[in-house]
Structure 1
């Protein structure tokens, strides 16, 4: 699958492909190819000029699902619904009552809580948003927060419409952790980091650092990033995530 926003790069790539096939004596079957599509089905997702969305045919299968009667049926349902969990905010929390039935030695009792969880998942999947691909060359924004049990971080881009560590180390490790997770997005891109620990603004210029902090700073030096202070009250997304218990996540 080859994608470009404008026609000219597409034509250039077509010429490259033709040369490649000719040079290596590769024969292409035209019936296997489609050109100039505005959307395409790819690995159970619909990819279009707008972004990535769920396959409505799969969602119809979820809506047609009857009440679950045993663990096998529950596993099948959660397997299909879970495939699209990145489209659903707080998917794990919504499915929590159902997933408890999959625990070892748990009795399968389909009560009101499980039915509500089941119906809620059906509802939110039919309203799943379109996920927009990040734009290279456009500044990323990272919001991070930490507690003694949770590291939380949110990766954003400006849209078309606008346990044993000290708290200082906890906030710093949250930043380092999100850079490891999102390295494929953030490496070689400009990035602004917002944290609710004000002293982290002076992290790079700080003279006295322990070995652990030195190691983390060396990792951050691989990125074009700046750290800015952002009060907890204003940092609602990451701050809320860090208050959720590990079981809920």
Structure 2
């Protein structure tokens, strides 16, 4: 509804983002309001307690409410706090919007209240997920009837498209529930179970990093044998079995380590035990489509979002610490300028979770390997020309920036070739013969086609990187004699040269220019304004400053030229910014002087 107040103390920002079905989702940034809100400590159900209720059940129905939060009305004295600003004025929510920090606890309390007679008998409720369970079908029909009677009486509406009825097996809170019992969702450990067989030392080190074994393989020649394959399969089994993947403890806080690379995101859910952080579940996701074009800041944030969405049943209503190796994400909650995508993500986090983001350097982050499996790399170092590889090796030894980058953990190595951290692009050292060879390989050879700077940059950037690479490619292409000789110019053709008219009297036509680069005098001058009369060749040499503004130059011209020799009819100059400025172009016509640039 429109806000009726003349003075509105609250006013959150609002954005619309597209949903997968083409409709729009309204996202409101309630971060400032949430900071001032006293947290509702109403308990969110413990997952273990809910799962214990299914013993002996054989039939299940999962009910999802239609925009559940919107079915609860706001308190009259809190409506004005939900105000959000639009170009048409301020509006307020009469129902509970998404984004409020106490919305999950309020909704859970309401569900527990209305369904209290059926709790622990045939119904479990986790926020807007209602699961009805029964021992046999006839009993299940009666249980559903009782649930629907309560929902109808309390005027809560069900979304049929997201509800499932009379199932023998159902996915609920990250588990598979059936008559046989409760099983862990296989997707939680799929990231480790389907890990690709290592093909080199680097991939082997990444895989063994979870078991802290990789140090013993340092400087060991790579020789893959059947016994190694057997060891990898045993490690896969160990990493996904009970001794390493501990069970979640609802009494403990959760810890997430999330990370992203160019092609994938990954995360680890853990508990802080007495003997350190212990993993509960691993997850990773390869990026597709538009996700690959996200800036690195958004990719790192996307890793956190994927973790919270996948592990939502554990984290909702619990205190969670998120470790990331992207320092700027520490300020995600207070960042003033957000894109629509970021607003949508923050709205999701602020509505459902109590979290804190902490910076942790990448070399200490367990999720690093999940987001950076080398089998997605575009370059196979084993196929590199030996001569080219030798140039790389020599270049790394003489480039003074390489040790500094290693010290800051910005590099990762594979077969003596350096990559940018989290990327599959080879880092080219500051070694001119090597960079010259790459430029010639991508521009000069017959199959390269002498492309322009943009296409040459695109080709090189697929596999290589070095600082100021675009500038080096631009200089190389513009200096290519073949391109200059064979390619037609795309610039507008210059007009015919026209002689300047011969003046009929002194100081009718004058020319101006600056002499710069001079040593500074005791008066602070470091430039000379030169004014020459085209008729008599008489000149004025006026001391000035390189940093002088257009207005200052105009004052010098009036003081030394116009006051002594009169106003010229034509003024000749180059395209110095002082002579092409709006002030200069407007001043000269007022004096009746024509500008000839």
Place the TM-score, normalised by the shorter chain, in its bin: 0.5 to 0.7
Aligned mates of 2:307, 2:273 — CA distance in 1: 21
Q: What is the SS of the residue equivalent to 1:92?
A: coil
Q: What is the SS of the residue equivalent to 1:233?
A: helix
TM (normalized to structure 1)? Answer: 0.53
Q: Of the candidates 354, 360, 370, which is equivalent to residue 241 of structure 1?
A: 370
Contact persistence 1:88–1:124 (CA under 8 A): no
- The answer for the alignment partner of 2:356 in structure 1 is 226
Matched, 1:137 2:248: no
**Superposed counterparts of 1:69-218, under 5 Å:** 86=189, 91-94=194-197, 119-120=230-231, 123-124=234-235, 128-130=241-243, 131-162=245-276, 163-218=292-347
Aligned mates of 1:196, 1:95 — CA distance in 2: 25
CA RMSD of aligned residues (A): 3.9
Contact persistence 1:141–1:193 (CA under 8 A): yes
Contact persistence 2:260–2:266 (CA under 8 A): yes
Contact persistence 1:87–1:129 (CA under 8 A): no
Gaps of 5+ in 2: 1-47, 50-119, 122-134, 140-178, 200-223, 277-291, 378-597
For residues 79-105 of structure 1, what are the alpha-carbon distances to aligned partners after superposition, in whole Å with 9 as ceiling and x for unaligned? Answer: xxxx8x949956522499xxxxxxxxx
How has the CA–CA distance of structure 1 residues 139 and 207 changed in structure 2, closer, same or farther, with 3 Å as cutoff?
A: same
How has the CA–CA distance of structure 1 residues 136 and 120 changed in structure 2, closer, same or farther, with 3 Å as cutoff?
A: same
Contact persistence 1:150–1:245 (CA under 8 A): no
Aligned mates of 1:93, 1:244 — CA distance in 2: 9
Greater strand share, structure number: 2
For residues 19-45 of structure 1, what are the alpha-carbon distances to aligned partners after superposition, in whole Å with 9 as ceiling and x for unaligned? Answer: xx9xx9xxxxxxxxxxxxxxxxx9799
How has the CA–CA distance of structure 1 residues 126 and 135 changed in structure 2, closer, same or farther, with 3 Å as cutoff?
A: closer
Aligned mates of 2:329, 2:297 — CA distance in 1: 8
How has the CA–CA distance of structure 1 residues 119 and 199 changed in structure 2, closer, same or farther, with 3 Å as cutoff?
A: closer
Aligned mates of 1:192, 1:203 — CA distance in 2: 14
Gaps of 5+ in 1: 5-15, 25-41, 53-82, 97-112
Q: What is the SS of the residue equivalent to 1:136?
A: coil
Q: CA deviation at 1:245?
A: 4.1
How has the CA–CA distance of structure 1 residues 126 and 245 changed in structure 2, closer, same or farther, with 3 Å as cutoff?
A: closer
For residues 149-205 of structure 1, what are the alpha-carbon distances to aligned partners after superposition, in whole Å with 9 as ceiling and x for unaligned? Answer: 010111111113231111111111110011111001111110001111111111111
Q: CA deviation at 1:119?
A: 3.0
Larger radius of gyration: 2
For residues 209-230 of structure 1, what are the alpha-carbon distances to aligned partners after superposition, in whole Å with 9 as ceiling and x for unaligned? Answer: 0111100000111200011111
Aligned mates of 1:88, 1:210 — CA distance in 2: 30
Aligned length: 162
Instruction: Give runs of ≥4 in structure 1 deviating > 6 Å.
Output: 42-45
